[in-house]
Chain A
């Protein structure tokens, strides 16, 4: 039994979007659909500081599905499309079963980590990019970060984890104290987003 999770060291994140782009390409994402993005806290525009010039604040928040221990999306799914893999802890949406009802979007305490594809999506290129077994992107379904379950199944790491330029991202089994992610978290202060929602997220934001 494995409990996959991530640690993201915000003090090392330089807001470069490499994680988001690695995800975008690896998963052959359609136009204007992302699983993973880097938010500039307090602005709709990247790299715009908040506050005043005398006392500015600039913080980056890489954001995707938190693959919670007790996912709110799981209980509300009427078709069983949302599933949590008991062997890995990865939360996925089966596009064959999803009816696009958006219950999961409403139940999830995290904004913007899921996308409803109202119809068949469009792509920038007339060819498939990324991994050969990238997820399908079916119209009428909701999709989100899969923790790159296809890669994890063959022993690789999720695309966003392959090489963070700031060396800020750590991946592995949270239940294994020897895993990279557990070692990265050990002794560090961290935040779990929207912890009060009680879903027990598996993405740790290190300070």
Chain B
């Protein structure tokens, strides 16, 4: 039997006692805790926050309304530069049809994201959102921080005014994508033209203060150190202390997909460790979502022993993080079977994490 791991035992005691962990303790967990120690700690916190034997999911759809973007993130294989013949903007009719298809399948959440398209200003979004909400009973979970910052900039508006107008037009919440890794050194290397980590955090804070909730993500596996991953978690935790506006945290690993970064992608082992440390460190974020789309159904299911309490959205369409070779689509029946097989009751929720079943 391996020697007992003194530092980790002390951290486990703090977890048992419900105490918050420090940055150094987060790094120590990443570096020294065994896989099953992380599972036991993350699962302890998961049950404290979610005492019912339930795993939730939302029926939703991704709509990528435009692929035109000038930011050129090295991990992205989706974008086309302005002027490219392969660039597109979906028409309202196309968007309505996609939403109707989702509603017909019992869906409630439209996740709409695109690129930073210089031809689309605030009036485009106001018109689009208002016409969607006028006819369709859905929750609009739309636009990344980068898109909103850019809309404000090209529309010559403050962030606050931009967010107020988007909310008035129908924006319900903001997906936490585009956070990537909130560390300047990594951001400068991977997506130098994108907004900075502090700009991302500032946008989220502004949104939360206007009662627009959001999720938060972390894309790891881009050559960062484990300490930099913990730094990201600490930044999310600090902002959450101030606003309470994050509904869920979703870590996922960078997926090699024909982009410039040409990384290796991540193993299930690395993913489960990362999701567990996220659950342990983010004591103030209630929900952790599985990333089965990138990790596959088997690892997605196993993440339920590593702090995950939510299976996310039944994705009907996804274009950015995955390609044909990395995509793992699951039917609703498969999602429910995997949740049940792990000993939980699957329940449908809305984007505000209210159980619908």
A and B from one assembly?
no
Binding site for A on B (CB under 8 A): none
Binding site for B on A (CB under 8 A): none
